[in-house]
Amino acid sequence: MKLHFHGGVEGVTGSCHRVETGDTQFLVDCGMFQGGREAEGKNHQPFAFKPRDIAFVLLTHAHIDHSGLLPRLVAEGFSGPIYATAATCDLLEVMLLDSAHIQEKEAQWRNEARKASRERDNQPIYTARDAQRTLQQVRVVAYGEEIHPHPALRCVYRDAGHILGSAIIETWITENGKTIKGVFSGDIGQPARPLVRDPTPILEADFLLVESTYGNRLHRSMEATLAELEHAITDTLTRKHGNVIVPAFAVGRAQEMLYLLADLHRKKRLPPMKIYVDSPLAMKATEITMRHMAILDPDTAEVMSWARKQNKGLQIHFVQDVEESMRLREIKHGAIIISASGMCDAGRIKHHLRNNLGHRDNTILITGFQAAGTLGRRIVDGEKEVRLFGVPVPVRAEIYTIGGLSAHADQAGLLGWLAHFKRAPAQTFIVHGEPESTGIFAQAVRDKLHWNNLVAPTLNHCIEL
């Protein structure tokens, strides 16, 4: 039995792991690389395997860095089922079509820009038609349900507490009469956070893949995080009289921000607010979230119900069409604008940054992980000027990094999840982290849990189990 690492190693995007047995081959995730031109080049490279040889895909969750290359996989010959939770299936329907739209538009824009140079046409990574075909191959799996995608494999999906529908996948793989248990963590959520439930403890595995996005640090406490959020918004709206711009992942972070703002206002910790959610994808994701209240944290329903009844102190507007989005540029003060993408590399957020970054009265709230090479990372790292749509824009707005809102567990959260294992897996692979984070986390696991068989795989690394 072999385990191949085709992404989600030496970095935090492009998650894709291939299991190869004598009887079958399958993938766990098939995500898109994100973060600048290098990532774009990886997305266009040929797969390191033949898509038609893949029997099925086990999908941990809907984030594009885990699901975003599924349509390309289908376009190149994969015809098997894609297993995911019900909420993930609902989110895929909007996220993959949105991603395909972005691929098509960016290819069109590049082709128009290169007409004068007569360079060859740019083709999108995949099209909306490819995304539609992919959705037809999705199969729903309930949390706790045992499925048998192949006679030699049984699986159970457990709640990962990361975003709506996210899963840890337990697998039991039989080869040559011997069964071994593999666990794929997907992205593990931080315990005691709003919106989603805590990650499900797992007790044993023969081999384990565990993420390490924040394996080198501790998040700020929720109390300190909320205090900083309260200060940033109150100071901007009531003292500086500016706007608050929030780059937010359309799935998960946008809904969490709405919950937190509503809850803080309900507790009279925030002033009256006009909140604009300028992302059609975030609006659809919020609707899907409301349909899956049964799998959310119990406090969420109460706060969301309260927020829907407010019509004065808390005004939430979902912006759909482009014309309405463009009118937001005329607002010079008093607005909270939540927009995608969360790493500032695409979508409507770039327009809001262009209009607001250059003014000292405004605030930019960075609420999620910013991968190396992204516009968001450059802003967080303190660049004094960035380019947006080819135009230099000075960075004068105040930048807040609200680290405690991460949907990923920090080092303590990851170690706490691993501590539930009755014994160390025979092999543990530390993935989904930048090299510094992966290395520091591996040492922490050795020091605190006394696990020794730890490997940080490299891209296209193959391990025989």
* CATH number of the domain that residue 23 is part of: 3.60.15.10
The pLDDT value recorded for residue 312 is 76
The pLDDT value recorded for residue 35 is 78
Distance CA 134, CA 82 (A): 8
Q: Do both 389 and 460 map to the same domain?
A: no
Radius of gyration of the chain (CA): 22
The pLDDT value recorded for residue 441 is 98
Indicate the Cα dihedral angle 43, 45, 46, 47, nearest 10°: -50
Q: Do both 202 and 255 map to the same domain?
A: no
The pLDDT value recorded for residue 301 is 74
Distance CA 108, CA 114 (A): 10
- Model pTM? 0.89
Q: One digit per residue, pLDDT tens: the chain, 465 residues?
A: 999 999 999 999 999 999 999 899 999 999 999 877 788 889 999 999 999 999 999 999 999 999 999 999 999 999 999 999 999 999 999 999 999 988 888 888 777 766 655 566 678 999 999 999 999 999 999 999 999 999 999 999 999 999 999 999 999 999 999 999 999 999 999 998 888 999 999 999 999 999 999 999 999 899 999 999 999 999 999 999 999 999 998 888 999 999 999 999 999 999 999 999 999 999 999 999 989 988 988 888 778 778 777 667 899 999 989 999 999 999 999 999 999 888 898 889 999 999 999 999 999 999 888 888 889 999 999 999 999 998 999 999 999 998 788 889 999 999 999 999 999 999 999 999 999 999 999 999 999 999 999 999 999 999 999
Q: Which amino acid is at 206?
A: D
Q: Do both 293 and 144 map to the same domain?
A: no
- Choosing from 382, 405, 428, the residue where a domain stops is 405
Q: Do both 212 and 308 map to the same domain?
A: no
Q: Do both 9 and 105 map to the same domain?
A: yes
Specify whether the CB–CB gap between 460 and 4 falls below 8 A: yes
Question: Cα–chain-centroid distance for residue 415?
Answer: 21
Distance CA 196, CA 193 (A): 7
Distance CA 414, CA 189 (A): 9
Q: Do both 248 and 320 map to the same domain?
A: yes
The pLDDT value recorded for residue 116 is 57
Domain range spanning residue 340? 222-405
- Choosing from 374, 405, 436, the residue where a domain stops is 405
* Total number of domains constituting the chain: 2
Q: Do both 147 and 295 map to the same domain?
A: no
Element (H, E) at 41: helix 36-44
Cα atoms found within 13 Å of the Cα of residue 77, Cβ hemisphere only: 8
Distance CA 289, CA 287 (A): 5
- Choosing from 359, 387, 405, the residue where a domain stops is 405
**Structural tokens at position 263:** 């809850």
Specify whether the CB–CB gap between 211 and 408 falls below 8 A: yes
Q: Do both 255 and 158 map to the same domain?
A: no
The pLDDT value recorded for residue 120 is 60
Q: Do both 427 and 382 map to the same domain?
A: no
**Residue that the structure tokens 């794929």 belong to:** 184
**Which CATH number fits the domain that encloses residue 358?**
3.40.50.10890
Cα atoms found within 13 Å of the Cα of residue 394, Cβ hemisphere only: 5
Q: How many helices (H) and strands (E) does the chain have?
A: 14, 22
Q: Do both 401 and 448 map to the same domain?
A: no
Distance CA 159, CA 177 (A): 30
End-to-end CA distance of the chain: 6
Q: Do both 334 and 427 map to the same domain?
A: no
CB < 8 Å & 24+ apart, contacts of 433-437: 433/11, 433/12, 433/211, 433/212, 433/213, 433/215, 433/216, 434/10, 434/11, 434/12, 434/372, 435/10, 436/216, 437/212, 437/213, 437/214, 437/215, 437/216, 437/217
Residues listed for the chain:
465
Distance CA 58, CA 255 (A): 25
What DSSP designation does 194 have? S
Q: Do both 87 and 38 map to the same domain?
A: yes
The pLDDT value recorded for residue 400 is 94
The pLDDT value recorded for residue 122 is 77
